[in-house]
Every structure is written in structure tokens, then in C-alpha cells.
Amino acid sequence: MANVRDLKKDINFVLGDIIEAVYVWQYTNTDKDVKQSETIIDEAISTFDTLITKVNNKNVEDKKAHFKAINQELETEGRALIDKINNLS
């Protein structure tokens, strides 16, 4: 990982793209209930807040391991949210 700024950008881009995908689904499925899709957006925002808080935490001993764990969590949460988008009905 290059630096904290790039990690913050990755978090922003990944979760922003997920939210955008939900909006696209909503616009293409206007006849379906949006309650599930709104829940996915809320989860993405919550994940964003959590990850940014962890990135901004200055009280860590091993910064490299800390940021690597955040990056891994972003990947895991991102994949889970994408799976939820794919399962929308």
C-alpha cells in the first residue's frame, strides 16, 4: 500500500461505486420495492464511516498491519455488499 491517502481514496471509490450500482438497479427496476436496496446503501455508508474512522485512528502500534487489515476489511465488506446487490429481486 502506498499511503493513507490512497487507502482513503480506495474506500471512497469502492463504496461509492457500490452505492452507484444500487441506484442503477433502482432506476432499472422501478416496479420493485426499494427497501432492500436502501438497506444496502445504508450498510455501505456505515461501512464507509467505520473504515474511515479506523484509518484516522492514530493510536496503533503497527501501522502497516493496521492498514493492511483495513484494506482486507474493505475487500470483504465490498464483496458482501456486491453479493447483496446481485441477489436483489
Print pLDDT tens along the chain (89 aa): 568 999 999 999 999 999 999 999 999 998 998 899 999 999 999 999 999 999 999 898 999 999 999 999 999 999 999 999 999 87
Q: Give me the residue spans of the domains in the chain.
A: 4-86
Q: What is the pLDDT of residue 7?
A: 94
Residue 32: left (phi > 0), alpha (psi -120 to 50), or beta? beta
Q: Given this model, what pLDDT does residue 89 score?
A: 75
Provide the whole-model pTM. Answer: 0.91
Amino acid identity, residue 82? I
| Chain centroid, CA 57 distance in Å | 18
Q: Where are the alpha helices (DSSP H) in the chain?
A: 4-28, 35-56, 63-86
End-to-end CA distance of the chain: 37
